Amino acid sequence: MSKSNPKLQNPCQKFIDIKSDKGQLVYWDKENERQVEIPLPIHFIVLDELSTITGYNKKHDCGLYSNEVHNITSEILKVKTFKGGESVTGLYQDIKFEVNSLGGKYTKSVYAMLVQKGNTEMVNFKFKGAAFSAWVDKKINTDQFIVAITGFKDETNGNTDYKVPIFKAFKLTNELNKQAIEMDKILQVYLKEYKAQGSEKEIVKAEKEEIVKTEKEEVYIPETVYEENESGIMQDVNDLPF
């Protein structure tokens, strides 16, 4: 890091986590140093999807993280705990059992353009566990439609009750699509530099350990499917409600 080569900055304005135990979307407000719940519904246009590892390590009472990759079959993951110095490196298929033993979860890192009344901003969602399964099963073509999280529904796995997000599709206008393309250009410049540097995933301040620790309350859903099937487009597609 120097004057001519400054620290790489993620262009996202919010890093949104899905709390399956409470049925909430939350982000860390850096300015006020507090966790903020996002009211629903929330509408967004997907810019890009990567894979990463997140989770909670009981041994060291801390979270864990990894770099982000587009392809888990050809790109190396570097998984580390926030403290304790434990780590594992390799292709996901080769290290997934070690990752699970550390408390790690396969996670979708979804970059998106958040669409609000007259405003847009770049955000990042972390879909893991039950939320990851719901994301894979949403059956929405994210290239052609706006995605909305309209609420949460109750699910049960054995003796564990949890909540999963409800996804709905909305019409994507030409104007919003053009805005999303321009925002994605900014994102791709960042991702290209991020990978060129071989950088480990930044430990985002929005994901302080106090937030990560709540993951131990979430239900674990086996991650057996990694590619989304978006062939079954939802039929009830409406205009944005604003």
- 71 located within any domain: yes
Mean pLDDT (whole number) for 205-228: 45
pLDDT by residue (tens digit) across 143-159? 999 999 999 999 998 88
Amino acid of residue 123: V
Mean pLDDT (whole number) for 77-88: 91
Write out the residue range of the structural domain in which residue 185 sits: 14-217
pLDDT at 171: 95
pLDDT confidence bin for 218, thresholds 50/70/90: low
pLDDT at 207: 43
Residue 230's φ and ψ, nearest 5 degrees, are -105, 25
Flag whether pLDDT at 82 surpasses 60.
yes
pLDDT by residue (tens digit) across 53-70? 999 999 999 999 999 999
- 205 located within any domain: yes
Give DSSP secondary structure letters for the chain: --SSSPPP----SEEEEEETTTTEEEEEETTTTEEEEPPSPEEEEEEEEEEEEEEEETTTTEEEEE--BS-TTTS-EEEEESSS--EEEE-HHHHHHHHHHHTEEEEEEEEEEEEETTEEEEEEEEEEHHHHHHHHT----TTTEEEEEEEEEEEEETTEEEEEEEEEEEE--HHHHHHHHHHHHHHHHHHHHHHHTTPPPP--GGG-HHHHGGGGGSPP------S----S--S--B----
pLDDT by residue (tens digit) across 165-181? 999 999 999 999 999 99
Give the span between the Cα atoms of 15 and 8, in whole angstroms.
16
Mean pLDDT (whole number) for 186-213: 66
pLDDT at 204: 42
- 4 located within any domain: no
- 49 located within any domain: yes
| CB-neighbour burial class of residue 214 (10 A; exposed 0-12, middle 13-18, buried 19+) | middle
- 26 located within any domain: yes
Report how many domains make up the chain: 1
Nearest to 40 by CA among 19, 10, 68, 12: 19
Residue with the larger pLDDT of the pair 220 and 78? 78
Half-sphere exposure of residue 107: CA atoms within 13 angstroms, side-chain side: 29
pLDDT confidence bin for 237, thresholds 50/70/90: confident
pLDDT confidence bin for 209, thresholds 50/70/90: very low
pLDDT confidence bin for 182, thresholds 50/70/90: very high
Give the span between the Cα atoms of 166 and 186, in whole angstroms.
29
**Whole-number average pLDDT of the chain:** 86
pLDDT by residue (tens digit) across 89-144? 999 999 999 999 999 999 999 999 999 987 999 999 999 999 999 999 998 999 99
pLDDT confidence bin for 52, thresholds 50/70/90: very high
Residue with the larger pLDDT of the pair 230 and 43? 43
pLDDT at 236: 60
Are 88 and 98 contacting, i.e. CB atoms less than 8 angstroms apart? yes
Flag whether pLDDT at 230 surpasses 60.
no
- 240 located within any domain: no
pLDDT at 199: 52
- 229 located within any domain: no
- 242 located within any domain: no
